[in-house]
Structures are given as structure tokens and as C-alpha cells.
């Protein structure tokens, strides 16, 4: 039985390209000629749209190349990547917190000092409690007024700010005087207590003086003579020894003052030699002023936060 070749013949006929007409061949020839001359022209001709001749079976290669060639885009520069901010201890703003804590601590000490000293001025319990309330109120005004007066000045209320600063000045002087009285009272009491201590040297000098006085009294009972005068000189000598022992105790009653005087003299190569009263006044001033700086310190702390 002979093989059936009809299907193969049909498929070959179907796959054979359709013959071009004379007009289509002429147009294709012109397109190929234009494609060869395109590089020499400054402005290459626009290729014909293949959709215009939908019945044409052949599309020029130049037109297809022009359609599928991608355009060159400008290079894209990547934006710089900023790393996330790292929180360091310096950004935690520890300074305002510490200053605020110190301001409240100084304020508490100042209120206690002014209340105690003001109450001690009262002649009765009722007067003492009134003075206590006055001292506490004055210290609270001195604490909160600087911040408020500064805010009023900042928002333009200058008259109210000046009134606030004037009130703060009055209360500040009041609380400083109270602090001065508190410091001077306590420092003098402690110094006297230390100066009146009985040391072994003082005890020995007192015993020797007592013996000298007893000997003088026995010798001078019958009249003033040679031995009586000797016992009297011995009494004077033993009294001087006792005074020297007491002076030595008084000198070490305030070791801070003595050390400060020696330090100033050493640092100035002997040029400055302050007396104990100078350092005592400086210490009293600092003890009176420092507890009253709570309001100003709070003002500085608020400025640091801003």
C-alpha cells in the first residue's frame, strides 16, 4: 500500500510565503535603500508604521530594530543612607536632672534652717510658730520666684517680672540673715565646746597650780617673808602654764580655720597671711548663702532643658 502524501503536500502549500505584488516589492526595495543610507544622514527618516500596511507580509529590519531598541536612561545615583541616630549618655540630658535635684535639696535645707532659726526668735510657743511660718514662706518665695520672674520677662510682661525680682530680693535678704544666724550660733557653740575641753595637759597644769596655791597659803599665813614670796612666784608660774595649756586647746578648737590659714600662706608663698577672723567671716557667708541658691539653680536647670 502506497503512503499517503496528500497531507504533506497540503502543509507545504500552506507554509509557503505568499507572493508579493510588484508595488510591495518596489516599496521593500526603497525601504532597504533608505536603511543603507540612514547612517550618513543627520536625521534618519522615521520608519514606516507596520500597522499602516496590514496586508504586507514583510516588515523592514530597520523598522523593527528602531522599535525594539531601548532608550538609554540617565544613571540613577542612589541616595545616601543615613544611619539611625545612636542615643548616647550625653543626649540623656543628665545635667538638668542633677541640677534640679540639687536645687530641691538646697531648698529643703534652707527651709529647715530658716524655720528653726525663726522659731527660736519667738518669746512664746505661739510667736515661735508664727516666726516658723514666716521663715518657711519666705524661703519658698525665694525658691520659686526666679523661674517665674524670668518667664514673665520672656513673654513680655516686664513690669510683673521686675516686681517679682524685687520680691525675691527682699525674701532673699531675709533668708540669708536667718541662715547667718543659724550658722553663727552653731559654729560658735561647737567652737566653745571644743575650747573648753579638758586635756591631760590642762589637768596637770590645774593640779600643779592648786598645789602651788596651797603651799603659798601655808607659807604666807604667818606673814610675808622670803619663802612666801617664792611660793607666790611659783603660783604665778603655774598659772602661766595653765593659760598656755588652755590656749593650745583653743587653737585646735577650730582646725578648719587653722588649716585654711596655713594653706593660703603656703599657696601665696607667704604673701597672704589671713587671720582667723577673716576665714571665719568667709565661712559664715558661704554657710548663709549656699542654702538659698536653690531658686537660682532651678532657673539654670530649666534653661538647660530648653
Instruction: Give the DSSP letter string of 166-232.
Output: HHHHHHHHHHHHHHHHHHHHHHHHHHHHHHT---HHHHHHHHHHHHHHHHHHHHTSS---HHHHHHH
Provide the grid cell at 290. Answer: 549656699
pTM here?
A: 0.53
Q: Is the pLDDT of residue 13 over 50?
A: no
Mean pLDDT within 112-136: 88
pLDDT of residue 80: 58
pLDDT by residue (tens digit) across 43-67?
555 554 444 444 444 555 555 455 5
pLDDT tens for residues 228-284?
888 888 888 888 888 888 877 777 777 888 888 888 888 988 888 888 888 888 888
Q: What is the secondary structure of 30-54 as a DSSP string?
A: HHHHHHHHGGGSSSPPPPPPTTTTT
Q: What is the pLDDT of residues 154-191, one digit of tens each?
A: 888 989 999 999 999 999 898 888 888 888 888 888 88
Closest C-alpha among 170, 183, 166, 169 to residue 110: 183
Q: What is the pLDDT of residue 187?
A: 83
pLDDT given at position 9: 44
Higher pLDDT, 197 or 104: 104
Q: What local confidence, expressed as pLDDT, does residue 159 receive?
A: 92
Residue 206: is it exposed, middle or buried by C-beta count within 10 angstroms (0-12/13-18/19+)?
A: middle
Amino acid at each position: 500500500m502506497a503512503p499517503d502524501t496528500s497531507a504533506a503536500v497540503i502543509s507545504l502549500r500552506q507554509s509557503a510565503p505568499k507572493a508579493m505584488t510588484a508595488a510591495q516589492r518596489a516599496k521593500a526595495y526603497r525601504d532597504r535603500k533608505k536603511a543603507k543610507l540612514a547612517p550618513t544622514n543627520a536625521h534618519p527618516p522615521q520608519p514606516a508604521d507596520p500597522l499602516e500596511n496590514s496586508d504586507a507580509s514583510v516588515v523592514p529590519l530597520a523598522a523593527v530594530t528602531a522599535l525594539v531598541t531601548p532608550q538609554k536612561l540617565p544613571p540613577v545615583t542612589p541616595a545616601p543612607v543615613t544611619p539611625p541616630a545612636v542615643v548616647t549618655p550625653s543626649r540623656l540630658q543628665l545635667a538638668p536632672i542633677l541640677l534640679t535635684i540639687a536645687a530641691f535639696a538646697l531648698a529643703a535645707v534652707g527651709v529647715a534652717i530658716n524655720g528653726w532659726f525663726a522659731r527660736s526668735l519667738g518669746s512664746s510657743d505661739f510667736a515661735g510658730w508664727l516666726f516658723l511660718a514666716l521663715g518657711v514662706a519666705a524661703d519658698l518665695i525665694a525658691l520659686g520666684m526666679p523661674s517665674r520672674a524670668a518667664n514673665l520677662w520672656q513673654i513680655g510682661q516686664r513690669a510683673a517680672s521686675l516686681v517679682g525680682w524685687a520680691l525675691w530680693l527682699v525674701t532673699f535678704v531675709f533668708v540669708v540673715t536667718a541662715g547667718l544666724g543659724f550658722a553663727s550660733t552653731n559654729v560658735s557653740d561647737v567652737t566653745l565646746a571644743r575650747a573648753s575641753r579638758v586635756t591631760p595637759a590642762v589637768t596637770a597644769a590645774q593640779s600643779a597650780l592648786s598645789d602651788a596655791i596651797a603651799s603659798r597659803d601655808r607659807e604666807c599665813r604667818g606673814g610675808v617673808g622670803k619663802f612666801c614670796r617664792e611660793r607666790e612666784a611659783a603660783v604665778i608660774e603655774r598659772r602661766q602654764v595653765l593659760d598656755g595649756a588652755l590656749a593650745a586647746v583653743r587653737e585646735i578648737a577650730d582646725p578648719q580655720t587653722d588649716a585654711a590659714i596655713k594653706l593660703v600662706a603656703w599657696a601665696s608663698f607667704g604673701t597672704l597671711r589671713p587671720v582667723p577672723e577673716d576665714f571665719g567671716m568667709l565661712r559664715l557667708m558661704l554657710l548663709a548663702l549656699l542654702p538659698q541658691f536653690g531658686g537660682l539653680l532651678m532657673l539654670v536647670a530649666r534653661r538647660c532643658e530648653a
